[in-house]
Amino acid sequence: MKQNGENIKSKAETQAPASNDGIRRLFRHSAIYSLSTSVQRLQGLILTPVYTSTKFIPQVSQYGNYGLIYTFIAFMNFVYLYGMDSAFLRYFFLGKSDRKTVFSTTFLVLINTALVTSALIFLFARQIATVVLFNPELTLLVRLASGILFFDTIGNLPFLILRAEERAVTYTVFRMLRFSMELALNILFVVVLRKGVPGIMMANLVASVLNLLIMFPFTWRYLRLHINWPLLREMVAFGLPFLPNGIAFMMIEMQDRFLVTRFLGKEVMAFYHANYKFASVLLLLIIGFRNAWQPFFLKIARQPEARKTYSRILNDYLFVAASLTLFILFFVRDLLTLHWFGAFYLLGIHYWSGIPIIPWIVLSYLFFGIYVIFTPAFYITKKSRYMIIFTGLGAVVNLVTNLLLLPRLGMWGAVSATVLAYATMAGTIVVVSQRIYPIPVDWRKLTGTLMLVGLAFVVYYIYRPAFSMRLILFAGMVISLFYILLTHPDVPWRLGLRNNISKRSDGQ
């Protein structure tokens, strides 16, 4: 009897370290994925001094065209995938079919639907240019977009395999290769050949084709020329609800670009888009985290400690995201207006009037991260149809707020709409997910964190503290966040420390 008790105790003691190892692996993979996502998006930031220079893109309105066409591409990415990427990950881990069948079914269906969709965009390019770019003469940009969307849709599937296999380093290496190709091609088409906005898109298209060829060996390992139709029906039933969900999300993220152009003109849109790019720092980290988060929570979903693990990860996320939000709030203007090495600014001088919107967009992404952390409930219980509730409501809030405030507040109307939309998404998903698949949440930690961040915004925008005072405030608030979120005996680092102390004591 004693032996059994010791075995039970031993098993219980090993569960915590195993869980902690899993959490450490999650954040290690998140950091690697964030690096790859940052590198992927870094091209836009690195080349912002080029894109915002009248030497290479002579008119501010042309930069506005760049913002609009890439908004269209980002929106259409969801249409091209129609939830099949989420379905692939779900059935790769929790499905009954073998993994090669799951991938082959996904790949063969997407290549056909992407081909049809790109053909339609190419044929109706003039009409789309009229609606999206407010100029029917810009059909070339739309046709280039149709090619980029096709090759990106197929070329991104091998990256899904690497995510599913948790090969974060390999994933990052190939993302960095894609980034390097696109950066070099941008320098060729925009800086050397002076092709302007069409040159940016030509560079993207060529990089997409090369990426597809380079990644083909990963595709070939899993590819069979066979579609499992019963599996496809099941995957589409699971994935299709993510399409309206994705469209609603992109409405929140992107529709303000079109509304700003409609109400305020392309030049204001250019200011808005240029500064919005620098606000995407937190979004890059969240996307990197999500790339690791989905395989992680599906992999441990059947473990008894899964829900407690999800809760601990929420606290860790809040600490990182809130700290970064405070850093951007207090120091982003200093970074963007500094004359680096006496040679260049990170943001063109003509675009500085939009810098104050950056911290507020970062705040909205803090709410988006909370939304991401509460998504396991709908994957695990196969209730993906509920996802549209949160993003749909957020999209409605975003649209209505934009229509009401843009004519009155200008860019700040769009910023207000973005913050309210993401806060709505976070609030509603927390409420509903806790009814479907509850996880233990320390509400005092969550509300305390949000109140501290809110206080920082009030202090900064009312008192405009000097740089030295901002340093003191930032350090003090990060220490406060640490004590609010991470000084609990159940957090991973404390468990690890406690286990190490216990081992040393046992050894003595």
Q: What does the H/E/C string look like for 432-463?
A: HHHHHCCCCCCHHHHHHHHHHHHHHHHHHHHH
Beta carbons within 10 angstroms of residue 404's beta carbon: 13
Identify whether the C-beta of residue 428 lies closer than 8 Å to the C-beta of residue 390.
Answer: yes
Q: What is the dihedral of CA 298, 300, 302, 303, to 10 degrees?
A: -170
Cα(208)–Cα(180) distance, integer angstroms: 12
Residue 4 scores a pLDDT above 60: no
**pLDDT for residue 28:** 67
Q: Is 35 exposed, middle or buried (0-12, 13-18, 19+ CB in 10 A)?
A: buried
**pLDDT for residue 95:** 66
Alpha helices by DSSP H, listed for 47-167, are 48-51, 60-81, 84-94, 99-123, 125-132, 139-155, 157-164
Candidate from 71-80, 303-312, 482-491 with smallest mean pLDDT: 482-491
Identify whether the C-beta of residue 387 lies closer than 8 Å to the C-beta of residue 448.
Answer: no
The pLDDT tens digits of the residues spanning 392-415 come to 999 999 999 999 999 999 889 999
| 334-359 mean pLDDT | 81
% of the chain exceeding 90 in pLDDT: 35
**pLDDT for residue 39:** 58
Q: pTM for the full model?
A: 0.69
Residue 149 scores a pLDDT above 60: yes
For the record, the structure tokens of 16 come out as 């915590």
**pLDDT for residue 394:** 93
| 26-38 mean pLDDT | 61
Residue 466, Ramachandran bin (φ over 0: left; ψ between -120 and 50: alpha; else beta): beta
Mean pLDDT of the chain: 82
**Which pLDDT band, with edges at 50, 70 and 90, does 171 fall under?**
confident
Q: Is 253 exposed, middle or buried (0-12, 13-18, 19+ CB in 10 A)?
A: buried
For the record, the structure tokens of 105 come out as 């079914």
Burial 70-85 (b: 16+ CB within 10 A, else e): bbbbebbbbbbbbbbb
Is the model more confident about 51 or about 199? 199
Residue 344, beta-bridge partner list: 340
**Which pLDDT band, with edges at 50, 70 and 90, does 491 fall under?**
very low
Residue 148 scores a pLDDT above 90: yes
| 127-148 mean pLDDT | 94
**pLDDT for residue 432:** 92
Is the model more confident about 32 or about 318? 318
Candidate from 61-70, 115-124, 181-190, 290-299 with smallest mean pLDDT: 290-299
Residue 120 scores a pLDDT above 90: yes
% of the chain exceeding 70 in pLDDT: 85
Candidate from 8-17, 398-407, 490-499 with smallest mean pLDDT: 8-17
DSSP reduced 3-state for 387: helix
Residue 92 scores a pLDDT above 70: yes
Is the model more confident about 106 or about 249? 106
| 192-215 mean pLDDT | 91
DSSP reduced 3-state for 272: helix
Identify whether the C-beta of residue 313 lies closer than 8 Å to the C-beta of residue 485.
Answer: no
Beta carbons within 10 angstroms of residue 65's beta carbon: 25
**pLDDT for residue 285:** 76
The pLDDT tens digits of the residues spanning 234-293 come to 998 888 877 887 788 778 877 888 888 888 887 888 778 778 877 777 777 787 777 778
Beta carbons within 10 angstroms of residue 229's beta carbon: 10
Identify whether the C-beta of residue 424 lies closer than 8 Å to the C-beta of residue 394.
Answer: yes
Cα 469 to chain centroid distance, Å, stands at 32
Alpha helices by DSSP H, listed for 187-305, are 196-214, 216-222, 229-239, 242-264, 266-279, 281-299
For the record, the structure tokens of 478 come out as 């990060």
- Which one, of 163, 153, 171, lies nearest residue 111 by Cα? 153
Highest mean pLDDT among 88-92, 133-137, 380-384: 133-137
**pLDDT for residue 267:** 80
Q: Is 334 exposed, middle or buried (0-12, 13-18, 19+ CB in 10 A)?
A: exposed
For the record, the structure tokens of 465 come out as 């503290």
**Which pLDDT band, with edges at 50, 70 and 90, does 139 fall under?**
very high
**Which pLDDT band, with edges at 50, 70 and 90, does 505 fall under?**
very low
**pLDDT for residue 196:** 86
